[in-house]
Structure 1
Amino acid sequence: MNFSFHCQAGCRHTQARAGIFSTPHGLVETPRFMPVGTLANVKTVTPEQLQATGAQMVLANTYHLHLQPGEEIVEKAGGVHRFMGWDGPMLTDSGGFQVFSLSEIRAIAEEGVTFRSPRDGQMIHLTPERSIQIQNALGADVIMAFDECPPYPASWDAVAAATERTYRWLERCVVAHQRPDQALFGIIQGGVYPDLRQQAAKAITAIDLPGYAIGGVSVGEPAELIETIVRGTTPFMPEHKPRYLMGVGTYREMAQAIAAGIDLFDCVIPTRLARHGSALVQGDRWNLKNARFREDFTPLDQECPCYTCQRFTRAYISHLLRAQELLAFTLISIHNITELVRFTQRIREAILHDRFTVEFAHWLRPASG
């Protein structure tokens, strides 16, 4: 199957670019925010509602689907696309980040990672080969190499060891990968150390793969360090392959990463905030439980075309939250996903019309600027 990336236009003043990433399940117009559907569902949102947000590519997670319901069931259902009723492009994370988050109940060795399942206490051994086997069974368009995500803060020596192991694990992932209709992406680690990031980028991209990701950010480091990491890494990534920044989904972080040449993003922010009653409105976060929304009969955002903003008011959503009605989570999730997808869509249009640095100047400045 053919995977390709075509750059349609570039920004004259930054490294930003607008492109098309072709996959077996359709095209992804970049730059693009991708919603996260950890357990083969974007929480509280149906596939039809998700499509209406403008989302083109959706994530699922290897680790979580392995635990429940198991990749065998997903494979018998016809793969993750059919299982969840989504016919667009999909990506599965390798489980590396989830293993990182289980630091208190896991042990890392050269062979792989052993951890105790938080669901039933069963001991699970996850190796690069096993991660790829699971992802081959799940059947997403893009699969990720199994990596070791070092924490923040961590010493140079500790990050160097994790970064070198990530490269060795990638070599094993390449050998284990059996499906030509799935694109395997490598992950560049290196923590906050520029020399390790550059070394990792050169080593990982020396292996010819359909795309590459920057991992190990948004693990506790300050936002300004994320920009430094991205700007220091993207020059060593191929221009003719898609570049994916993992786990990032705020306006400023995405705009600055796009300026550095990043194409794809994912983050759980839109649905996680929704479950806490918070809406994203033009980059701000609103707690809709606040008293000021009780009698506010305007849409969340009058400029937003989403189902929620076209049909419901702030007062109604605030009422649903106070009444603990589950519909509130669906309505806010629809809006929040639309908000982030539209932000990257607007940047794409600005790049195509050579207006990126003018229209998004506010988001390209440091937060304190």
Structure 2
Amino acid sequence: MALWRIRATVDDRPGYLSVLTASLALKSVNILAVQVHTTEAGAVDDFLVDAPDALTEADLLAAIARGRGRDAFVARAEAEGLADQPTRALALAGRLVHDPDALGEALVALLDASEARWRPDPLPGRPGYDDSRMTLADPAGGSYEVLRPRPSFTPAEYARARALVEVAGTMVRNHQEQATLLLPDGAEITLRTAVEDDLDGVRALHERASSASLHSRYLGGGAPGDTRLRRLLEPAGGRTLVAIDSGGKVVAMASLLAEGDLGELAVLVEDGWQRRGLGTALARRLVAWAGKGRFAALVAHTGADNVAMLRTLRRLGAGESERDGAMVSVTLPITGREPAKDQAAVS
């Protein structure tokens, strides 16, 4: 027996797939796996089959034609093809988690393509595909041109390729946004963008923080619950950074919340890590990130007695400040931008 890959288009009507499979069965062809791709031309059926050694490509093409299949493609397959498509896609996604630079090789494996050509220039237009060519943006920069003479690419395959690119893009962004910070006292801290999975670590940070630290961060509001913490971890239009010590604990976090073209900056540092430059490092990164986007200015609300935070804001170029009782609101202008008139500050 020999393994073959068969792809053919049939009318997307009840019973037509069974006609094709019956025609193959008459030739003692055993179907090991099947995928169905819906297209405008009909249902594209992709089979991995085990056929008698005596059967040739011409025999299989004839059986497909008798089974009302059209636009047929037949090729010998390897044993690796026995892994179903979801298993293959998950394995390739797992590879990209550890090596996002392997995107080109992963696309070739996912699509059974002949090659994936990387180009340093971005795509001249939108990503897309035709029968034998698929173009995709490389999250690390540049673009990929994936080639496969036959069979024609399908919408389902394009969707899978886009999903794989998104996995690689997420890992590239995570790698780019993670940095190791060496504090003046020699301690090493990892700084990175917060994700939903940081909820437990951030909750533990709040539980360890003193009431004075929580009062300074939340202006007397107390530690937030899980619902608000989730919003702080991945704020819409903003960004949150976390600081991780060598033991994997979250020891500080800094958030930039957005409302229009204004942002609110807030920092919480565990008591034992305060006055070591960690809060300043987190805030400086958020200010730099805000300068690359649409923000006209940032505002920070803090207690008038929070000397450490006020000192940090001055280092970052604090502009105007307003005092309202025990609270001070400090504005950090973004170079080259002016805040929109009558725009309310984030509360």
TM over 0.5: no
Higher strand share: 2
**Which has the greater radius of gyration?**
2
Q: TM-score range by the shorter chain?
A: under 0.3
- Which of structures 1 and 2 has the larger relative contact order (alpha carbons within 8 angstroms, sep 6+)? 1
